[in-house]
A and B are shown apart, each in its own frame.
Chain A
């Protein structure tokens, strides 16, 4: 292994270690720590320091050493853990991240960058005279002391029930460990009229009065861990006694854990509970080669099926059965290989707390970031390209959405604003939600601004969602004053474009005065796509299934010509613009009469619904996406290409791209060859 390779591995590992360090620091900040948290944090920083020493990153080593010294005192219990120390350690982790990034990118960090921080570590470690110090427990008293009981805060996510989880069974399993006091929290329960029958709204607080190991409690919740927010904290004897009241006791009476719990477990015990590594590092290129190869196999298999279909069925009865089995195994193989490429969104989400910390300090706001569903997995490429749009949305939420503490108080809100970032898998897509409880969008002012800029006709009546759409317009967001006026708008067109480039969609819901919610829906992978094969002349095109609303053969009387806009299709009282694909791509010998072809209605983000005129529908199939940009060049309205079972190349349509150019169709000349020759 070369030195460069070792260095690259060190940076990758350090990024992961830092990620886990941030997670542990966030546990400490939220009071979710147990005896293991500080030890795990110490180990992460120690590993970064160890590797850094080997590569001669002296400043990084000194800084990590300063953090270690403080952590050592905390894990021994010599120093009590408080919010100020967690904040200091967070600053330390931020500085480590900066130093690592600088070493990795070969850039210089200003001299003395870490001096103030080092000084702060020294002062904290020395602890001023008179400051409370916890007397270290004698070494003999350390081993595994079980707490008197456990307090469990269980906050299900909406999908908990739909994922076949049943809280009743959890309670009954807990009851097997010992007496349980159950408090149901109905705060989130909406009125019946607004409820989704299968969504979970209730939270529970359990107090288990049994001196059992944490693992036994965690085991009860093992299968719901991904569908809930769970806090398990040990409770001291007096708290158990206090909680020994009839059912549905007020939850506020139960005190949180004593900080000494941090020192309760010995490092040896902690190390023993650490599971062995179950993963290995593989070069991404190797995985990509595998993905490509499986893609080729899928195409080969499609060809085989097509040839077999032309044979008389009785000729080779075993062949059909064999091909079916092959198809099934190939699909499983493909899913398996694709899943290797996936990684948790955590790698992006973990960058957000720092952004929130720094921005809120800069803006003088008090903001809490709540992150859920970070273990949701998505294609690596999608994860990498999510960072920019998410950062932008979060920056907007903090800058323009969340008010200052005084403004919030005046509006009757808590001084601290909350931003919620979550990810979940829903019907084959990943949905990322970013919501804030800030001031929301002032639609009246957005509309006024749009009218001023001539983006909306003075007499046009716009629905709320149409007004929200205005902030995604490029010409709208370039206005420097918009952010101050509407609360949103800077660069939102870029965010939408980035998300669309990933095959995703972005939607916005906002209520003036109470906050905004952005919903990002993204495909799990960019490598395969469920598509509808359509024919136009002698060409075949693929339409992404996700974009299709319906397809029909219109009657001649339903087609109307509009001057300067081409034809429109009248359907159920609405008029949908028609886009004849043969004219768009200059395909000869295609059906020009809509009433003799097929109109496929697709949903576009910009232009609403659009009717694509094609000759015929060929069939639905999963296609392997080949990049057109890498092999040929970018063509507006085309998202990629694929190879069909008969060996022909078919272009995959990029519906948003088609929608954008739609207004120019009637007047414009054909814009691209039907199929680039380089791919044939």
Chain B
């Protein structure tokens, strides 16, 4: 998973979600998100997502909940249309809040 640095939050490293988030990507995404939970803030860029699966959305929901439980800010920015509509269709808008 590619990493990048958030210009707004220099101490937090971000995660650019890959174009494909199908089932095969669930394990790497899970690992990457777990590592991010050690950071003071989590931010994800969802602009490149072209393919999405429920297991990956489920991981994002769990990451958000775990971040909230630890008091870590969680931001998912610039979600692609594919990602945004999947979140809405599965009724996960509260579980995975999108930042416009």
Contacts and interface: CB of A to CB of B under 8 A. Distances in A.
Interface of A: 161-162, 164, 166-168, 171-172, 175, 182-184, 186, 189-193, 195, 197-198, 200-202, 204, 247-248
A202 B62 CA distance: 10
Contacts of B98: none
A171 B62 CA distance: 21
A189 B93 contact: no
Interface stretch (B3-11, B12-20, B21-29): B21-29
A197 B91 contact: no
Contact of A202 (B23, B33, B54, B66): B54
Nearest to B67: A192
B49 interface: no
7 contacts: A166-B53, A189-B65, A195-B62, A197-B29, A197-B30, A204-B91, A247-B91
B55 A198 contact: yes
Interface in B68-88: 69, 86, 88
- Max count, chain B CB within 10 A of own CB: residue among A166, A183, A184, A189: A184
Nearest to B22: A166
Nearest to B59: A197
Contacts of A164: 23
A192 B58 contact: no
B90 interface: yes
B54 A186 contact: no
B44 interface: no
Prevailing SS type, chain B contact patch: helix
Given A161-B54, A186-B95, 4 more contacts: A161-B26, A189-B65, A198-B55, A200-B55
A172 B91 CA distance: 12
B61 A186 contact: yes
Contacts of A161: 23, 26, 53-55
Contacts, number: 85
Interface string B30-46: 10011001000000000
Nearest to B88: A247
B37 A167 contact: no
Contacts of B52: 168
Interface of B: 23, 26-27, 29-30, 33-34, 37, 52-55, 58-59, 61-63, 65-66, 69, 86, 88-95
Contacts of B53: 161, 166, 168
A193 B61 contact: no
Prevailing SS type, chain A contact patch: loop
Given A161-B53, A200-B55, A202-B61, A192 B89 contact: no
- Max count, chain A CB within 10 A of own CB: residue among B61, B89, B92, B95: B89
A195 B58 CA distance: 10
Contacts of A198: 23, 26-27, 55
B58 A189 contact: yes
B61 A189 contact: yes
A172 B54 CA distance: 13
Contacts of B89: 168, 171-172, 175, 182
Given A167-B54, A198-B55, A200-B58, A192 B29 contact: no
A276 B56 CA distance: 41
Contacts of A168: 52-54, 86, 89-90
A175 B89 CA distance: 9
B20 to A, nearest CB: 14
Contacts of A182: 89-91
A186 B65 contact: yes
Contacts of B26: 161, 197-198
A560 to B, nearest CB: 42
B45 to A, nearest CB: 19
B86 A197 contact: no
A68 B78 CA distance: 63
A161 B61 CA distance: 16
A184 B54 contact: no
A247 B62 contact: no
Given A168-B53, A197-B59, A192 B34 contact: yes
Contacts of B88: 247
A197 B94 CA distance: 21
B66 to A, nearest CB: 4
Given A167-B90, A197-B30, A189 B62 contact: yes
B1 to A, nearest CB: 13
Contacts of B37: 192-193
Given A161-B53, A186-B65, A191-B69, A201 B58 contact: yes
A227 to B, nearest CB: 13
B18 to A, nearest CB: 15
Contacts of B65: 186, 189, 191-192
Given A168-B86, A247-B93, A202 B58 contact: yes
Contact of B66 (A193, A197, A248): A193
Contacts of B54: 161, 166-168, 200, 202
A200 B59 CA distance: 10
A422 B56 CA distance: 26
Contacts of B92: 184
Contacts of B27: 197-198
